[in-house]
Structure 1
């Protein structure tokens, strides 16, 4: 039997999440993990890391249905069913996906640069959630500087400082380096979650699976 550790004495678990802000399964996976953490009475130190699902996506983006058809060969019916399933899963987890025929997928390199800057400001996590909301709930262009600065403000960051960070170009090289770090370690899809620096779990695995992983990490820490 695993020794029971009082919640106040439980270690803070490091969880690294490799993710893209236009990946619906990334926000699903995080929300499932968040519920698992709450169910286990655990606290995690979350770090988000950059991954571009479509690094060659032009700034004007692409219609989402067209993109899914071209990239995955999905039929219109399959694509609609997938969006309906995501909408249902999101609602169960308290997140609103609002897909429509005009939904687009965007280039996310600027968004990742802003997240790199926000990490240094101690506000990376709330910015990541604000960007998911901008993309999927508001249908906003997350390659647009004004949209990004608005998301930064909602995350408790200074919008003017966010704009300066983007326009400076200072976070382009660090973002590319971080992307390369994870792709060189075999990350080819997201979300990819690394628990305690040891266990890699890919995809949105569900609350129960995440609870099992958390229990394993807790048992080893004990």
Structure 2
């Protein structure tokens, strides 16, 4: 039987822990459903487009943006760590964790698409940030991450120096926002069916089966 082709567009930000959780659950669902040929494309979304390069203390940021108390922030981190363990995601939050600007990271993801390395780079960026607690707004950090997935750091540096993908990243963000995407992750199947948030693996399995049918 010929596998059913499934186009999957994922709108996300590297700063978003639920985006990597949602992706891992999607991977589990795709593994569980047979006869699917999935093609994944990542699209940019900046949770904090005005964030400075040096970033902001995570607890302070959550307090300012959502009104979270230190106790609530600590509980949320503990919840993410527990969920991550069930999905082989290592969240190494500390009391000094910071949140960073991701605009350059999104430009490199656009560039990596031309080499069919988007997913590899996205996962490496998630790992650098959540597992290794690195500043992925820092160009040297980004170039090191690029190199880990087999891409040329010299080319990547030229991309960032020229900002040649800046306009296309902004245009893509505007496009998805015009389609009603205001939070991430957002997963769109076959350019028609939207699933918002990091839904459970079983929910995704059922959704894929319905598309398959």
Whether TM-score is above 0.5 comes out as yes
Aligned to 1:12, the other structure's residue is in SS state strand
For residues 147 and 4 of structure 2, the distance between their equivalents in structure 1, rounded to whole angstroms, comes to 32
For residues 166 and 68 of structure 1, the distance between their equivalents in structure 2, rounded to whole angstroms, comes to 29
Residue 49 of structure 2 corresponds to 55
Deviating runs (4+, > 2 A) in structure 1? none
For residues 62 and 93 of structure 2, the distance between their equivalents in structure 1, rounded to whole angstroms, comes to 13
Q: How many correspondences in the alignment?
A: 212
For residues 82 and 91 of structure 2, the distance between their equivalents in structure 1, rounded to whole angstroms, comes to 9
Deviation at 1:154, TM superposition (A): 1.2
Residue 117 of structure 1 corresponds to 111
State the superposition RMSD in angstroms: 0.9
1:78 is aligned to 2:78: no
Post-superposition CA distance 1:49-88 (Å, at most 9, x none): 0000011111110000111111111111111111011111
Residue 13 of structure 2 corresponds to 20
2:98 to 87, 104, 117: 104
Gaps of 5+ in 1: 1-5
Residue 165 of structure 1 corresponds to 159
1:148 to 142, 150, 153: 142
